[in-house]
Amino acid sequence: MVTSNKDRGVVQAVSGPVVVARDCPASMYELVRVGHERIVGEVIRLEGSSVTIQCYEATDALAVGDPVERTGMPLTVELGPGLMSSIFDGISRPLEKIAVLSQSVFIPRGVDVPSLDRERQWYFEPDPSLTVGRLVTAGDWIGSVQETPLILHRVMVPPGTMGTVKWFAPAGWYTITDCVLEVTHQGATKPITMMQRWPVRQPRPIVEKLVANTPLITGQRVLDTLFPCVQGGTCAVPGAFGVGKTVISQALSKYSNSDGIVYVGCGERGNEMAEVLRDFPELTMSLPNGEQVSIMNRTLLVANTSNMPVAAREASIYTGITIAEYYRDMGYHMSMMADSTSRWAEALREISGRLAEMPADSGFPAYLAARLASFYERAGRVKCLGNPERTGSVTVVGAVSPPGGDFSDPVTTATLSTVSVFWGLDKRLASRKFFPAVNTSISWSKNVQALEPWYEANYPDFPSIRQMVRQILQMEEDLSEIVALVGRDALAEGDKVILAAASMIREDCLQQNSYTSYDAFCPFLKSMLMLRNIVLWYKLAQKAISETDRDGGTGTTSGLSSRLTFAALRDEQMDLLNRLSRMKFLEPNMGEHELRQNLDALRDDILKSFRDRDWAIVA
């Protein structure tokens, strides 16, 4: 970028990450380079010829009078082959490249490395539909590159471009800056490469938003069955420190049914990011041909830890969502995890404080809710721009860390008013080592109705099972007050069955240890059949007890000793109950067929056990 004198300003004041510069006619959100080390900053306020800049790198070496250089561009991200399996810092600089260049474990200030490798060559194959003379418009597929074994990268006409094809590159090896297509529009010829740039604060264009109707299978039973999220949904995971937010967002990145993952570690401690960097490359998934490949092949990590300058947190969130949108535009179902959005909100608070803006609740700026909402609004299932016709989606899962786990904090309330799914994590459950520590009484999902057609088509029994499970958990909650007052023994026999079933649902099904082979990921089929068996046992046990109860009442004991008590039933079915509590140990890698066989066999034995009782109850 050319820099004449009018493209330069002078540092006038520095306050933490905020710098004021004078004689700098920059525009709003323009990217600038501050000081002799040329650290990266973004203009966030204009006042006459002076501007306020938030800096994405440490400002301690700046002095009044240092130069401020304009770039003439907003904060943009480079989009093209090479993104997947990369690890970026908050402003999309590739960390591995920087390490090699700087020979240091630290990022030198002002380092200028492009996000995407300019030298690397990719095998580009033009789209079969391409012919010279054809009209192409924004979003049209012009070719493809096998970016990783898991991602076929679709090279697209960038937004805002159209024209007739004058020439296109034959299949072969090209770098991302080589021209692969030439279009003419109104007499002018424009070269198109495999790389596009996009300003991160602006959502990428689409044709229209669609209703999301496919579940995001997370592999966590409590989430998939009770509080499902759709592909293209928005989901908040609030919880105090140590309740399992990070474990949940990492589990989603590892196992969810997404085509690609953008994981943004935003302002959390460095060791968590180190864990991600260590774990992810070791995890594998199988290709259709049976080959095992690392999940990094569909993952992009943005590492922005708590010791990095706060302003970069916002940049990392926007960079992440923009990259997710880019892959969505190819027709993929993407998930973006942001851990944690509270750190971003805290950065907004710090910057706003330094700008001397009027603070609102807890010192957060008044525009906090609007900022969060406009971020979550970029999620969704959409009809993508261009040909061929296709849909894609971006699901956003944001961890929220309210201080002390208090859900009335402004960030949590603002988040909950925009998202469609809420997984509330509970300190008390976590301290009992009950994981995932999802509190079933406060969590909710607004996606259940949208998923009904999907359940109907794939698992028609599921809605009624889910209904029954929720009912049992609700009844348990109502009973818990009575139990606290009078103790368990004073309860009616039927109520004891409710408590037993609820405890089976919680301990033997919803509880799931992420660090085991059988429970790291639970296929939806297994989750559903486990609940089906528990619900079946519950119904039959209630029926058995209520029928003998009636006999006892009328005195027509018909040869039977007396009423059936829950204790008696439990002793009699010790073995069966044991098997119910061991369902979770079935290894999911045995495959759906065998899982179903196993769990169906247990169902048959439950039926048989009640049928064989001498008072012969037929289910």
Ligand X SMILES: Nc1ncnc2c1ncn2[C@@H]1O[C@H](COP(=O)(O)OP(=O)(O)O)[C@@H](O)[C@H]1O
Residues forming contacts to ligand X in the complex (CB under 6 A) are 239, 241-247, 435-436, 513-515
Nearer to ligand X, 123 or 241 (CB): 241
Least CB distance to ligand X at residue 436 (A) = 5
Using CB atoms, what's the residue nearest to ligand X? 244
Q: Minimum Å distance from CB 339 to ligand X? A: 7
Provide CB contacts within 8 A for 567, sequence distance 6+: none
Shortest distance in whole angstroms from residue 343 CB to Mg ion: 10
Helix (H, G, I), strand (E, B) or coil at 497: helix
Other C-beta atoms closer than 10 Å to the C-beta of 594 total 13
Tell how many helices (H) and how many strands (E) occur in the chain. 16, 30
Nearest one of 520, 490, 508 to 588, comparing CA atoms: 520
Residue number with CB closer to Mg ion (254 or 378): 254
Residue 436's binding partner out of Mg ion, ligand X, none, with CB under 5 to 8 Å set by partner kind: ligand X
What letter does residue 280 receive in the DSSP assignment? G
CA–CA distance, 181 with 194 (Å, rounded to integer): 9
Q: How far is CA 54 from CA 246, 273, 313, 407, 429, in A?
A: 28, 24, 11, 30, 40
| Count of CB atoms situated within 10 Å of the CB of 453 | 11
Size of the residue set binding Mg ion (CB under 5 A)? 2
Beta bridge partners of 284: 294
Work out what residue 59 binds among Mg ion, ligand X, none; the CB cut-off runs from 5 to 8 Å by kind. Answer: none
Among 246, 299, 316, 445, which residue interacts with Mg ion (rule: CB under 5 A)?
Answer: 246
Pairing of strands 229-230, 215-216: antiparallel
Residue 405 CB, nearest approach to ligand X (Å): 9
Distances (CA, A) of 11 to 18, 69, 70: 11, 10, 13
CB of 166 to Mg ion, least distance (A): 52
**Which of ligand X, Mg ion, none has residue 525 at its interface (CB below 5 to 8 Å by kind)?**
none
Please state the closest distance from residue 515 (CB atom) to ligand X, in A.
Answer: 5
Q: Which does 513 bind (CB under 5 to 8 A by kind): Mg ion, ligand X, none?
A: ligand X
CA–CA distance, 341 with 402 (Å, rounded to integer): 10
- 412 counts as binding Mg ion under rule CB under 5 A: no
User: Taking a C-beta distance cutoff of 8 angstroms, is the pair 597, 591 a contact?
Assistant: no
Quick one: 237 or 473, whose CB is closer to ligand X? 237
Between 297 and 304, CB nearer to Mg ion: 304
Identity of the residue, 175 or 256, whose beta carbon is nearer to ligand X in the bound complex: 256
Tokens of 348: 């907004």
| Distance of alpha carbon 194 from alpha carbon 312, whole angstroms | 27
Q: Name residue 169's beta-bridge partners.
A: none
242 binds, among ligand X, Mg ion, none (CB under 5 to 8 A by kind): ligand X
Nearer to ligand X, 275 or 361 (CB): 275
Min. distance of Cβ 586 from ligand X in angstroms?
18
Q: Pick between residue 246 and residue 573 the one whose CB is nearest to Mg ion.
A: 246
Interface residues toward Mg ion, by CB under 5 A: 245-246
